[in-house]
Amino acid sequence: MEKVKGGIVLGKRYEVLSKIGAGGMADVYKGRDTMLNRYVAIKVLKKEYREDDNFVRKFRSEARAAAGLMNSNIVNVYDAGEDRGLYYMVMELIEGITLKEYIKRKGRLSHKEIISIAIQMCTGIGAAHAANIIHRDIKPQNIIISKDGKVKVTDFGIAKATTSHTVSSNAMGSVHYTSPEQARGGFSDAKSDIYSIGITLFEMATGRLPFEGDSTVSIAIKHLQEEITPPSEYVEDIPYSLEQIILKCTQKNGERRYANTDDLIRDLKRSLADPDGNFVVIPPLRNADTVIITDEELDDIRSNYDDDDEYDDNEYEDYRYGDDRYDDEYDDYDDYDRDGRRGKNDEDVNPGMQKVMKVLTAVVIVIILFIVIFAIGKAAGVFSSFGKGTLLEEKEDEEIEVPSLIGMTEEEALKELDHKLGIKVVGSEESEQYEEGKIIKQTPEKGKKVKKNTTIKVTVSSGITEKTQTVPDVSGKDEDEAQKELEDKGFKVGTSEFEYDDSYSQGEVISTTPAAGSEVSEGSEVIMKVSRGSEKKTVPNVVGKADETAQKELVAAGLVIGEVGYEYDDKVAKGKVISQSIQGGKKVEPGTSIRIVVSNGKKPEEKVAVPNLSGKTYQQAKALLESYGLVAVNGGEEESEEAVGKVSRWSSAGKSVKKGTKITVWISGGIREPDPVQPSTPTTDPDQDPDDPQSNPGGTPGQ
């Protein structure tokens, strides 16, 4: 696989979407973790380094170094692996730009911005130090600022874990930010990172780097032998405390720097509250800060740094994880005395510079002798055979107009330059116009006047850039409408995926793969995720549950409580659900109304008032009682003043009784006549009238 393009899935899990950055060893892509459905950054080792075991080991070491670090100010590493010859690392995706790019945009940062960024940066680096990991490549290119202002440290490419306070290695970070001990190839510890932090603070405060040079070796030597110019000589309004913090961080002698990031953070916070305070304490000088370098040590430095390295000034893109390019467009520095005071001290003599001056003096003497010998020889005709093209006959300041090399191969460019100018390939990039190997950029540009033998730095094409287009946002649109819009823009629309989603109506597009806003190749396939509507809900079985509990469960299931009825039930306790309108376990649409019936407990016994039966015959009384749900019982006749055959009295008269109660009814038999009294037989006159009182003085009339 020659290139990593959108549509490739690494490790059967990570889908590559689009390229978002490039570094010295690796390219960075935006991807999607299909298992966890989240966006990630995928760092893939470049093709030219995959066959190099050293680079592969370095790439894997970065994953090992960073995988164990979980901190909000560190770009977290989730996974790493190898798939079809591609070595990749899966990291947290940060939407933002590098600190390098941020400095370039703003020129220099304010006091508060510097401290805010520095505190977060030191927090992340401090977490690594706590895990016995020294970063060793701290620089603005490895600091990411997210869109929400979060600062994260990334690219532990040459980090090394240690169980002691120091590590010994000849691996070095980027030369502009490297500590003196790293430049010398000696040990490096947490204080080496603090030195690099100090250089980064210097760049944030001034918009420039403290040291520059024509080669990596010259810059490395300056870190060893030259003092940093106080930032106030470039920025007059820099707070005194911040300048002292920078100077303490960048002391040549590690013992004079901050012992750890916690101490540095403490002074940074204090500087925020007291910008001009004199609280930063730089330990006194014990040994010389500058270093005398032996020839043997100089050879060691050259072996660690490529002395012919050139630096391009291309803009840094967002997400530049692992970008090892350098920016050399900075002004010259001034001298600075080793006691940390502003100003110059002409009396201090750098021992290393004394040696350099001796060497230069010897070189000048040799050159003068060579010129004298050459002049004598030429006068004697010794060099006449060289013709008029000899070195002394050419003007030392001869200038040549730079031709255009754009579109040529390196071989064609060499012929064009005709040995008058040199050429050096400093990088490669994709091109929209030129094929692989053709020159697409040159410095100096066409038409510039330069001295003879000047080297022209060129960038060659790594291949034709695929034309890309942005995936439109079709979420919320009808599936047919969305498909037409995508096809009108030249995309191929694949088979849609469907899923339930409460936020979108049935048939509306939820999202697309690749996601809306992604830059993909023209004609790429886009898969739409379409809503099935709200997912059907399972009706819970609430029969037998308390009324309040049942209603809560129904609402939690996405349903609506309909009518609530109440009934007497001898078998279901009062307040418990007797029944529900839709049986539990059935699938229904969200928001379906469910009616429930709640028990009022056992039905109470019903009572009725016993009606008035006066003046009724037994049959009439019986019919009336039965209409009330009562039972008539004939109590028989009794003597009563009521008319014969009529109800004389009844039980429970004037009371309320349960239905079905027996009511005894008595019927009047009238008033009984007393039994006649047998009188003694009087002597009477048979013809006498018995009703005549005169004739019956002791009797009762009618008797």
Active site residues: 137
> Which of 301, 331, 98 has the alpha carbon at shortest distance from 216?
301
Q: How far apart are CA 534 and CA 592, in angstroms?
A: 12
Give the CA distances from residue 127 to residues 89, 93, 138, in Å, rounded to whole numbers and listed in that order.
21, 20, 14
Q: How far apart are CA 613 and CA 62, in angstroms?
A: 108
SS3 646: strand
AA letter at 347: E
User: For residue 2, what are the contacts with CB-CB under 8 A and spacing of at least 6?
Assistant: 47
> Which of 688, 607, 606, 619 has the alpha carbon at shortest distance from 647?
619
Q: How far apart are CA 8 and CA 17, in angstroms?
A: 8
- By the 8 A CB rule, do 631 and 662 touch? yes
Q: How far apart are CA 511 and CA 498, in angstroms?
A: 11
User: For residue 379, what are the contacts with CB-CB under 8 A and spacing of at least 6?
Assistant: none
Q: How far apart are CA 494 and CA 520, in angstroms?
A: 15
Dihedral of alpha carbons 496, 499, 505, 511, sign = negative
Q: How far apart are CA 390 and CA 383, in angstroms?
A: 9
- By the 8 A CB rule, do 482 and 473 touch? no
Q: How far apart are CA 328 and CA 443, in angstroms?
A: 14
Cβ-based neighbour number of residue 453 at 10 Å: 11
Q: How far apart are CA 613 and CA 656, in angstroms?
A: 14
Question: To the nearest 5 percent, what fractions of the chain are helix, strand and coil?
Answer: 30, 25, 50
What six digits make up the tokens of 571?
A: 């078998």
Q: How far apart are CA 142 and CA 623, in angstroms?
A: 106
Query: What DSSP line would sit under 213-275, residue for residue?
Result: -SSHHHHHHHHHH-PPPPGGGT-TT--HHHHHHHHHHT-SSGGGS-SSHHHHHHHHHHHHH-T
The single residue listed with the structure tokens 């800060």 is 289
